[in-house]
């Protein structure tokens, strides 16, 4: 699957990201059709072409015909006072018919924003009322970007160091230095670019994308470029206020063996509720797997061994979570080489809708097929049938499709051999 490179040397904002992805080939009609299925205020979404310092780019055009209070356009002063609670936004995403990966990404972005705002204001994330980022345009920016990523079938995201700008900015709670408090919180542990410019280059929404969706920060790796997009912001600077995105194919196929890091610590003085929260935090920050094992510790005390599997570049952030969120006084780290199957996602048609199936293979041989749990769960819930019934139907359809594909491949090989 393609990977995406975010060139954030001039910063990143929600509208810039969405317009850049559309410029790179994301289907705007796909984005709009899914957004229209959400319980949001009526909107008109489009892009136009602009030129900034000699670079042609797309800029987002987003309009709201009516405000909640009447016919006043939402672009009028004060529309950012249209607050929404984080828990309500997450519930809306969960109950929607958005594609599974879009739900996961949008939830990760909004959760990152809620944690950052909650930490700053000293309140639980679910109780956060968004101000600037809770306005309707930012909600559409975030979900729209996740839909655009799905339209391009982006599997992995890499980014450059991020420019943030400087100076001060007036916000809902007063005048604050740039980067804004939420932006700074979201960029903890992320490399920043040395680009001293007066003004806000990276917004909280842009920082949330970086925090929640980017797998790695580095210079552009060895890739084959398949598309490039430019998204322009509305502000004018002495430099191009543009985000560049690059849709790429890796120059090398995904290796069958890769290096992974195992983090471990054990505790005998932590509650089950705390462990549940820790697991959520670890998965939100790109842990590949997390599991708990009952163990007996010193003085024959029952305890819990926490094991985290992650990529090397994510280990430092995950260690910090373990030290911050648990009672451990240390974390052990070991490196391993693991053999991995290549994977692809295919969809099978069932009486309960089209459901994704993960295919694990090496070369021409398929080893495993596994329905996507969340889609099976939603289908069972929506059709009011047992989970096992949907799961079994998907497995049966997937195996039938796979057998047919194998037979077709065999026939092609036989025909070719006959002709030779």
Domain coordinates of the chain in residue numbers?
3-250, 257-339, 344-419
- Cβ neighbors of 266 (< 8 A, separation 6 or more) are 295, 297, 303, 304, 305, 306, 328
Percent of the chain at pLDDT above 70?
86
Q: So what's the pLDDT on residue 74?
A: 34
Percent of the chain at pLDDT above 90?
48
Q: So what's the pLDDT on residue 174?
A: 66
With a cut of 80, say whether residue 125 has pLDDT above it: no
Q: Which residue has the tokens 């398929």?
A: 366
Q: What angle in degrees, to the nearest 10, is found between the helix axes of 204-213 and 14-23?
A: 60
Q: So what's the pLDDT on residue 51?
A: 94
- CATH code that applies to domain 344-419: 3.10.20
Q: So what's the pLDDT on residue 254?
A: 52
- CATH code that applies to domain 257-339: 3.30.70.1380
Burial category of 239 from C-beta neighbours within 10 Å (exposed 0-12, middle 13-18, buried 19 and up): middle
- Write out pLDDT tens, residues 196-208: 888 899 999 999 9
- Write out pLDDT tens, residues 74-103: 333 334 335 678 888 889 999 999 998 999
The three-state secondary structure class of 276 is helix
- Write out pLDDT tens, residues 233-274: 988 898 999 999 999 986 444 556 677 889 999 999 999 999
Q: How far is residue 112's CA from residue 118's CA, in Å, rounded to a whole number? A: 10
With a cut of 70, say whether residue 170 has pLDDT above it: no
- Write out pLDDT tens, residues 25-34: 999 999 999 9
pTM of this prediction? 0.60
Q: So what's the pLDDT on residue 135?
A: 64
Q: So what's the pLDDT on residue 401?
A: 63
The DSSP output letter for 253 is: P
Lowest mean pLDDT among 140-144, 199-203, 227-231, 354-358: 354-358
Q: So what's the pLDDT on residue 141?
A: 94
Burial category of 328 from C-beta neighbours within 10 Å (exposed 0-12, middle 13-18, buried 19 and up): middle
| Mean pLDDT score across all residues of the chain | 84
Nearest Cα residue to 399 out of 350, 352, 353: 350
Cα distances from 242 to residues 10, 14, 119, in angstroms, run 6, 12, 30
CA dihedral sign, ordered 110, 18, 168, 85 = negative
* CB-CB contact of 10 with 240 (8 Å): yes
286: its two tokens: 């790109």
């Amino acid at each position: 699957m393609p990977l995406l490179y975010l060139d954030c040397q001039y910063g990143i904002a929600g509208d810039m990201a969405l317009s850049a992805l559309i410029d790179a080939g994301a289907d705007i009609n796909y984005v709009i059709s899914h957004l229209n299925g959400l319980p949001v205020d009526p909107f008109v979404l489009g892009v136009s072409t602009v030129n900034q310092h000699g670079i042609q780019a797309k800029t987002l055009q987003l309009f709201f015909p009516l405000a909640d209070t009447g016919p006043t356009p939402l672009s009028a002063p004060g529309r950012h006072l249209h607050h929404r609670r984080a828990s309500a936004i997450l519930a809306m995403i969960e109950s929607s018919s958005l594609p599974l990966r879009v739900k996961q990404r949008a939830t990760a972005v909004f959760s990152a924003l809620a944690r950052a705002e909650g930490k700053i204001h000293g309140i639980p994330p679910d109780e956060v009322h968004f101000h600037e980022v809770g306005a309707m345009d930012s909600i559409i920016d975030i979900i729209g970007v996740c839909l655009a990523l799905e339209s391009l079938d982006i599997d992995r995201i890499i980014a450059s160091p991020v420019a943030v700008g400087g100076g001060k900015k007036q916000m809902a709670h007063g005048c604050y230095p740039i980067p804004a408090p939420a932006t700074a919180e979201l960029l903890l542990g992320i490399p920043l670019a040395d680009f001293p410019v007066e003004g806000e280059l990276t917004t909280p929404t842009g920082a949330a994308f970086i925090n929640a969706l980017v797998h790695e920060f580095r210079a552009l790796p060895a890739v084959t470029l398949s598309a490039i997009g430019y998204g322009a912001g509305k502000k004018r600077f002495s430099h191009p206020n543009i985000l560049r995105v690059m849709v790429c194919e890796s120059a090398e196929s995904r290796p069958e063996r890769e290096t992974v890091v195992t983090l471990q610590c054990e505790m005998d003085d932590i509650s089950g509720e705390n462990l549940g929260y820790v697991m959520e935090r670890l998965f939100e920050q790109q842990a590949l797997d997390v599991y708990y094992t009952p163990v007996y510790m010193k003085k024959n005390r029952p305890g819990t061994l926490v094991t985290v599997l992650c990529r090397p570049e994510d280990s430092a952030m995950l260690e910090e979570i373990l030290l911050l969120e648990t009672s451990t006084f240390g974390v052990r780290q070991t490196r391993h080489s693991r053999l991995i199957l290549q994977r692809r996602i295919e969809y099978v048609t069932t009486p309960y809708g089209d459901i994704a199936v993960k295919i694990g293979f090496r070369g021409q041989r398929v080893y495993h097929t596994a329905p996507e749990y969340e889609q099976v769960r939603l289908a069972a819930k929506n059709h009011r049938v047992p989970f096992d019934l949907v799961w079994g139907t998907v497995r049966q359809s997937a195996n039938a499709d796979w057998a047919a594909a194998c037979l077709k491949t065999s026939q092609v090989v036989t025909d070719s051999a006959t002709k030779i």
